[in-house]
Amino acid sequence: MIHSVRFICVLDTNVIYPIDIRDLLFWFAHYDLYTPKWSNHIFDEWIDVMKRKGISEQEAIKRTENANLAFPDAFVTNYSGLIDGLELPDLKDRHVLAAAIKTNANIIVTNNIKDFPEDYLSTFGLSAKTADDFLTDIIDLNPQLALKAFRELVLNRRNPDIDEYEVLDRFRKIGLNDTANFLHSLL
């Protein structure tokens, strides 16, 4: 069940980079709704994406360091030896699966579901979910705590300082439709 810190999820770069998805994932993790995991490869990709989007390398590194400070047990190591033995449609995603195997994760949270075939992942006791599906599951399993985490996210928003409904609209614009609608129904 996705309602405790024992539920371990590797977060792919494509759910860490968009700030609105990352914020909600991190606030849910802060409230112990699940345990996030990531790796050097994932953070290297995150830094590359941030630099391509015009964020300075210094700021990009600061953001990854802050994530590791906030979740010191999230960083997966000693997984690279598994990479070459894995088969995925996109070979560049093997590091995500290797980190998930190494940390005994339950789920890979990624918006590239097609690159993580269900049958193959199941041989490792894993599955993949989109950020929207994963977040919706968390809300469904613990709606009051999820709502509390969401409200704290909103209270801590700066630049721009926006209300709950504006945050939900931002979620919808980036594909978190079910998540936004579920949270909206709880307000």
Report pLDDT digits (tens) over 44-79: 999 999 999 999 999 999 999 999 999 999 999 999
Quickly count helices (H) and strands (E) in the chain: 11, 5
Summarize the confidence of residues 171-177 as an average pLDDT. 96
CB contact at 8 A, 53 and 18: no
Q: How many domains are contained in the chain?
A: 1
CB contact at 8 A, 136 and 129: no
Could you tell me the CA-to-CA distances from 96 to 79, 103, 159 in Å, in that order? 9, 11, 31
> Does a structural domain hold residue 25?
yes
Residue-number span of the structural domain to which 124 is assigned: 8-131
Summarize the confidence of residues 16-34 as an average pLDDT. 95
pLDDT of res. 4: 57
CB contact at 8 A, 47 and 19: no
Summarize the confidence of residues 142-163 as an average pLDDT. 91
pLDDT of res. 159: 76
Distance CA 114, CA 29 (A): 25
pLDDT of res. 5: 54
- Nearest residue to 89 via CA among 59, 110, 115: 115
> Does a structural domain hold residue 160?
no
pLDDT of res. 7: 87
Summarize the confidence of residues 160-166 as an average pLDDT. 89
Summarize the confidence of residues 82-86 as an average pLDDT. 97
> Does a structural domain hold residue 165?
no
Identify the band that residue 1 occupies on the pLDDT scale cut at 50, 70 and 90: very low
Two tokens at 37?
A: 């995991």
> Does a structural domain hold residue 158?
no
- Nearest residue to 11 via CA among 50, 38, 41: 38
CATH code of the domain covering residue 111: 3.40.50.1010
Identify the band that residue 157 occupies on the pLDDT scale cut at 50, 70 and 90: confident
> Does a structural domain hold residue 119?
yes
> Does a structural domain hold residue 78?
yes
Summarize the confidence of residues 72-95 as an average pLDDT. 96
Two tokens at 112?
A: 């590239």
Mapping DSSP to helix (H, G, I), strand (E, B) and coil, where does residue 38 land?
strand
Rounding to the nearest 10 degrees, give the CA dihedral for residues 171, 153, 15, 13.
Answer: 150
Mapping DSSP to helix (H, G, I), strand (E, B) and coil, where does residue 39 land?
strand
> Does a structural domain hold residue 178?
no
pTM: 0.93
pLDDT of res. 161: 82
DSSP-derived secondary structure letter, 111: S
> Does a structural domain hold residue 181?
no
Distance CA 122, CA 115 (A): 14
The backbone torsions φ and ψ at residue 7, rounded to the nearest 5 degrees and listed phi first, read -85, 115
pLDDT of res. 158: 79
